[in-house]
Amino acid sequence: MKKSPGTDEGNEKNKANIGHNPFYLNRELSLLAFNRRVLAQAEHHHIPLLERLRFLCIVSNNLDEFFEVRIASLLATSRSEGGSDAIDSPALTEAFRLTSIECHDIVAQQYAILNKEILPQLSAKGVHLLRHKDRTEAQRAWVKFYFENEIRPLLTPIGLDPAHPFPQVLNKSLNFIVEMTGKDAFGRAATIAIIKAPRVLPRVIRLPDALSPNGISFCLLSSIIHAHIKDLFSGRQILSYYQFRVTRNSELWVDEEEVKNLRQALQSELQSRQFGVAVRLEIAQDCPAHLSNFLLNQFSIDSNRMYAVDGPVNLVRLSEMIDQTALPKLRFPPFTPGLPALLLTDDIFTLLKKKDVLLHHPFQSFQPVIDFIRTAAYDPLVVAIRQTIYRAGMNSDLIESLITAAQSGKEVTVVVELMARFDEEANINWADRLERAGAHVVYGVVGLKTHAKLALVVRRESAASSSANNGGASGLHFYAHLGTGNYHPNTTKLYTDFGLLTANQKLAMEVNEVFIHLTSLTKPKKLDYLWLAPFALQKEIIRAIRNEAEIARQGRPARIVAKMNALLDDSVIKALYAASADGVKIQLIIRGACALRPGVPGLSENITVRSIIGQFLEHTRIYYFRNNLLHDVYLASADWMNRNLFRRVEVAFPVLDKSLKRRVISEGLTPYLKDNVDAWELSSAGNWSKPKRRPRRVAFSAQQHLMALLGGSSESNGG
């Protein structure tokens, strides 16, 4: 008998669904389970040592964001419901209890892997992270000189007394608490001091090679300050000193009804992010209770959110050591993205008149997309360029090309998402430069993040240059790029994504309609190809799911395969459950959080969920519906989350060319369903485990397969 999920469960809200819910898995615990899977990469001995260390850093970075956003959100909910910092809701109390247990366990495992495996093995390979006791006399002399000349002049020790209250401590900054005896220069007995390490100081310092005869040696800034902290308090007896770090609520808030200029409001708000409500304290493991309690009281943090760690309080900073170590044997083998041979012949506009081009990143280069915009910037026939920017990074050749186009008099419109979390400052800077170059810069729709990945080039062409696809008429012709990932020079090398370059006029003109909607705020016209959030995306997804269910009820084969970062939307999950009960085979590839319970009899026995954790971060969103052998394939910027479907501007777009449709299936779905190396499978109980490899079954990694298939050669598959 088919089960019916409750109407108020599984919604993506701040409240957590904790405990054993028969229909939904908890979001926070699912996010932490994803970090467990990433952490497992740091334990794999077949992964090079520096890459294992990088996975540790990634987990720490993810946990930072988990506290800055998810835990901060739960705390805000508890305060709004209880009227204070007390957690009165039983569900929230249980949420904090279970997430606290899991977070503490993950952190303990991180430091155990670091101290017992990775650092000793790196040292055996000639990469040394030296504590004070490990350093030779010559190394100590160099470190002391470095401290006196590079570090001490920038430090400001603050002895606490009524005239020197506890200082403001920046979010995620390195700090020290110092306990002293004796009297200060004015005869007073201040016993506690705080030292803040300025962010201009590097956290990892490489010692001169001449002082490292056995390889490469590094020191942490925290270790150097520790070794010389007594030099900062002459005449005082130092009893103890410990490093600590505070994580704060980093969500930005502006009153969208009152704000007149979003960019100016955000610039002001960015300053306050560093001093949001404290949500976590990390401190050295040997810090005594009276000092840790002192800090907990200063920051108003519950003791359950204190993490006493056996090592540096910020493992993310160890990535600086990775970047400064040029030992190829300790890294993944170098990989060169492929470039489809057809891109080496015609110019991009001539090529696109002949056929669409599909690019699969990072296995294929992102350079053709950059060249598409750069070519448009210098092409005298191009009259307009339009683009969305969600994350672009601090340096971007693509945006530099937009600036060039605007300066040359082309009509350039850029929709910059100022509220892209942790990229706000970079996006504000780009918006300012684009405006000064003469581009039209808008910030999307207030209250909605513009997350769609779109670029449009408008060219005035003669009849002779027009293709049959364009009807042979002269006039304006549209060329578009639609993608699943950001226009970011770094993430395009690390994240898996698809991008489509097309001169299909019907599809490209709908892209133009989306831009008109974003700039004019008018209701978009009916779109025949694009699924646009927040207006139609969820409705179209559920319609396609229900269509497969109807096909199954008629006794015909029905199948759905979907790949994305997260699955949390209640209505979509209910539709998948109903389709499963009707006999639809549903295969989900979910990188991160998943609230759906697979394999529950009568509810989801036809649904499987797997996750791929490999060398690259899986980021592609693909929706596949068999649809009576029409094989509908959509690529999208959106995960199946409430925020994506209703609180963002998102676009899902069809792959219309049959050969490219086959490529998306054969590259983006089939290898990931076949993977038995990097895959994890989700049980109905919410547990993730590595699938058992069948006897005589050859090991198969989807990412390794795609690197071999698409990488390196200009002969790579790709049209």
Write the DSSP assignment of 609-646 as a string of letters. EEEE-SSSEE---EEEE-TTTT-EEEEES--BSHHHHH
Q: How many residues does the chain have?
A: 719
Judged on CB neighbours under 10 Å (0-12, 13-18, 19+), 389 is: buried
Q: Which two tokens stand for residue 639?
A: 């995960």
Residue 619 among known ligand-binding residues: yes
**Which of 76, 619, 145 is closest to 362 using CA atoms?**
619
Residue 62 among known ligand-binding residues: yes
Q: Which two tokens stand for residue 515?
A: 């831009």
What is the three-class DSSP state of 579? helix
Q: Which two tokens stand for residue 400?
A: 């530099």
Residue 421 among known ligand-binding residues: yes
What is the distance between the alpha carbons of residues 37 and 15, in angstroms, rounded to a whole number?
24
Residue 643 among known ligand-binding residues: no
Asked if 607 contacts 32 with a C-beta cutoff of 8 angstroms, the reply is no
Read off the amino acid at residue 406. Answer: A
**What is the pairing mode between strands 495-502 and 357-361?**
antiparallel
One of 360, 361, 451, 477 is an active-site residue; which one? 451
**What is the pairing mode between strands 175-181 and 237-248?**
antiparallel
- Three-class secondary structure assignment of 197-263: CCCCCCCEEECCHHHCCCCEEEEEHHHHHHHHHHHHCCCCEEEEEEEEEEEECCCCCCCCCCCCCHH
Residues 6+ apart with CB under 8 A from 392: 398, 399, 423, 426, 427, 430, 486, 487, 488
CA distances from 34 to 59, 282, 309, 491, 610 (A): 9, 22, 22, 19, 11
CA distances from 568 to 13, 95, 519 (A): 10, 17, 30
**Which of 304, 303, 289 is closest to 242 using CA atoms?**
289
The residues facing 475 across adjacent strands are 461
Task: Tally Cβ neighbours within 10 Å of residue 160.
Answer: 18
Residue 663 among known ligand-binding residues: no
Residue 553 among known ligand-binding residues: no
The residues facing 411 across adjacent strands are 384
Please confirm, yes or no, whether 226 is among the known catalytic residues: no
Strand ranges (DSSP E) for 473-584?
Answer: 475-483, 495-502, 531-533, 559-564
By annotation, the residues acting in catalysis are 451
- Binding residue positions: 62, 391, 421, 495, 591, 619
- Binding residue positions for ATP: 62, 495, 591, 619
